[in-house]
Chain A
């Protein structure tokens, strides 16, 4: 995730690796992602990303298709796509 200041707010771009690390419990960067998210929550930042990032996340999760939690994960990604996270 990278940050920038714009219009007197702090904006954070969420990329695929950040989302994935946060989402997958046994990813090696999962704990680090949680620490970063907690800090960003305290700092009251604003996220932005693109549908391409979510499409990449979608592709990665689909590739783990044998996992029974897949449907739930895809459902949550779809909800993210419906949220006002995009510039």
Chain B
């Protein structure tokens, strides 16, 4: 009797499953999916991380809002585990938004960090080009967001107290 073919599911456009699958891939840890107390399914990594490579969540914990994407590798190199842990605590829910918006970019950085830590020299330089900024005109898409949203009944001092409301937003996601 031939072995039953494993069914493949493309989760590219299923953000929650994609995030979970990438987490399993990058941490090398199995995840069990439960419904109440009943265990329904198990997600296992195809390939475990070789010793010494960096889990995805550790890399994300090094990201600080004030630094550019290109600086993340340097920040990782210089940061110690205590600093990374502190940053992780501060960022909280920010990481959730970040994961969704920057999966591709962060994945590329993780690959570079992993290669660097594993002592692998890149075979070719990155071909990613920086986007060119253009002059701000009346046709700029930035104008599309102006006044797009009226937060009836909501606070009116958000822009003046951005840190406070960001902290609220992040804590609200957990």
Contact = CB atoms under 8 A, between A and B. Distances in A.
B160 A87 contact: no
Nearest to A21: B159
Interface string A18-62: 111111111111100110010011001111101111111011111
Contact of B149 (A11, A23, A33, A86): A23
Interface string A62-76: 111001011011001
A52 B63 contact: yes
Interface residues of A, number: 57
A70 B149 CA distance: 7
Interface of B: 63, 65-66, 68-69, 93-94, 96-98, 101-102, 105, 130-138, 140-152, 154, 156-160, 162, 165-166, 168-170, 172-173
9 contacts: A25-B149, A50-B65, A56-B97, A59-B96, A60-B166, A64-B154, A79-B144, A84-B131, A87-B68
Interface of A: 11-12, 14, 16-30, 33-34, 37, 40-41, 44-48, 50-56, 58-64, 67, 69-70, 72-73, 76-77, 79-81, 83-87
Contacts of B145: 19, 22-23, 73, 76-77, 80
Contacts, number: 166
A40 B102 CA distance: 29
Nearest to A72: B148
A61 B159 CA distance: 12
A55 B98 contact: yes
Contacts of A54: 101
Given A28-B157, A86-B130, A41 B138 contact: yes
